[in-house]
Amino acid sequence: MQDEQAIYFDPAFRFYFGGQGAWQVFHHKDVQRVLSDYEVFSNEYMPKSADNLLGSNLNQTDPPRHRQLRALVTKAFAPAIIAQLENWIHRECRDLLQATLKKGEMDFVKAFSIPLPGRVTAQLLGVPDQDHDQVNAWINAISSDPAVIGMDAYFQAQQEMGKLFMGLLEERAKVPQSDLISHLLQAEIDGEKLSMADTLAFCIALLIAGNETTNGFLANAMYIFATMPDVQAYLPAHIDDLPAALNEVLRYAPPVQSMCRIAKMDVELGGQLIRKGDLINVWLSAANRDPSVFRDPDTFDIHRDNIKMVSFGHGAHYCIGAMLARMEAKIAFETIFSTIKNITLKPGITPARNPSTIVAGFLNLPIVFEPK
């Protein structure tokens, strides 16, 4: 598409929130422009309604409002706070692996890449352990392809998740704790506290962003390492190169495939006239393989310079949890490579991919291995 139709309008394209019809953008320079120029390409593309709680979340605002809202949660993702989670994440990774070590096989998605980020984001927010499985089911419904699951499942998941968080918000209002929910309840913008709708949207958006995308990151990394034995053999002996390898995973198979924007005015992009109100879908996965930016883009090369990849977005809306996601993945695979070896896909089973136009990951990823 970069060669033949770098920007084109697809009237049948469906977004997870129900929007239909969008300009598809594939070139790195065009993707960067759309993501960074919020005065022309707005992030406020989602309908705002009582049953669509996500319509008022952090990612659905433009500066200056976005800047104010982002400042509220930035403290929760500060390096010092993230560093405090490090030892706890190490323990969680060891516990998850121990459960399957004797079997010599596991479904990596169900046994590891779903529960780990679920536990981490729940720890940050203050969601009780017993609600993790249900929360993951809601997240899957919200981020799946509406053409596959239908819009009813999308709205129902939001409403049910909203009830859970309303209960937690009421509890924290009475007895504050050292979690993000308590922080949001006490936070103020220009002397005013967040509305309950804003706070709910915050919680749901952060839980989805922290779970589904990191799950995709971990699963994509495992798929690559399990199917590239040379890379898998190299990394345990050169563990200092693990961050570079995970960075290349982010470029080669980004967990977030695409991002949406809406045109605030008529604008020309790549020779195409985009009208005010048109939806634009930028493909991060394509931008990350643009040969004008990345040499031999279809080759997995852990030693390449990936500074221009757009896997965490670009500009004002750059992913606030990028540091946490990188740390989770680093600790996860340090633990994996020190605990098991000779990891391969389970013979006779084809891993099933996510039915999503946003998150590139797996529904299941059966692997076999040997304990070290």
Can you give the CATH number for the domain in which 214 is found?
1.10.630.10
Give the DSSP letter of residue 113: I
In angstroms, the first-to-last Cα distance of the chain is 45
Residue 115, C-beta contacts closer than 8 angstroms, at least 6 positions apart: 96, 132
Rounded to 5 degrees, what angle do the CA atoms 317, 166, 63 make? 20
d(CA 125, CA 363): 25
pLDDT, tens only, 159-212: 888 888 888 888 988 998 878 888 888 877 777 777 777 777 778 778 777 788
pLDDT value of residue 320: 87
Q: What is the mean pLDDT of residues 153-164?
A: 78
Single pTM value for the model: 0.88
d(CA 275, CA 5): 18
pLDDT value of residue 49: 57
Pick 342 or 199 by higher pLDDT: 342
Q: Is 204 exposed, middle or buried (0-12, 13-18, 19+ CB in 10 A)?
A: buried
Beta bridge partners of 147: none
d(CA 149, CA 145): 6
Q: Does a structural domain hold residue 307?
A: no
Q: Does a structural domain hold residue 41?
A: no
Lowest mean pLDDT among 13-22, 27-36, 187-196, 320-329: 187-196
For residue 84, give the amino acid letter. Q
How far does CA 287 lie from the centroid of its chain? 17
pLDDT value of residue 219: 97
Positive or negative: CA dihedral 130, 59, 159, 284: negative
Pick 4 or 124 by higher pLDDT: 4
pLDDT, tens only, 107-152: 999 999 988 998 888 888 888 777 767 777 777 676 666 666 566 7
52 pLDDT band, cuts 50/70/90, is low
Positive or negative: CA dihedral 307, 312, 313, 316: negative
Residues of the domain holding 195: 50-255+315-371
pLDDT value of residue 85: 87
pLDDT value of residue 81: 76
pLDDT value of residue 366: 98
- Collapsing DSSP to helix, strand or coil, 21 comes out as strand
The overall average pLDDT reported for the chain is 88
The H-or-E segment that residue 134 falls in is helix 132-143
Q: Structurally, how many domains does the chain consist of?
A: 1
Percent of the chain with pLDDT over 70: 93
Q: Does a structural domain hold residue 195?
A: yes
pLDDT value of residue 156: 81
d(CA 322, CA 149): 29
Lowest mean pLDDT among 169-183, 277-291, 294-308: 169-183
pLDDT value of residue 48: 66
Rounded to 5 degrees, what angle do the CA atoms 162, 362, 366 make? 125
Residue corresponding to tokens 């422009």: 33
Say how many C-beta atoms besides its own lie within 10 A of residue 311's C-beta. 25
d(CA 362, CA 223): 9
57 pLDDT band, cuts 50/70/90, is low
Q: Does a structural domain hold residue 1?
A: no
359's tokens: 């998150």
Q: Does a structural domain hold residue 264?
A: no
358 pLDDT band, cuts 50/70/90, is confident
Q: Does a structural domain hold residue 28?
A: no
Q: Does a structural domain hold residue 241?
A: yes
Is the pLDDT confidence value at 282 over 80? yes
Residue corresponding to tokens 């598809």: 24
Is the pLDDT confidence value at 268 over 90? yes
Beta strands 340-345 and 188-189, pairing class? unpaired
pLDDT value of residue 55: 54
Pick 82 or 55 by higher pLDDT: 82
The H-or-E segment that residue 50 falls in is none
* Alpha-carbon Rg for the chain in angstroms: 20
Asked if 22 and 13 touch (Cβ cutoff 8 Å), the reply is yes
Residue 100, C-beta contacts closer than 8 angstroms, at least 6 positions apart: 106, 111
Q: What is the mean pLDDT of residues 18-25?
A: 93
Q: Does a structural domain hold residue 300?
A: no
Q: What is the mean pLDDT of residues 247-251?
A: 98
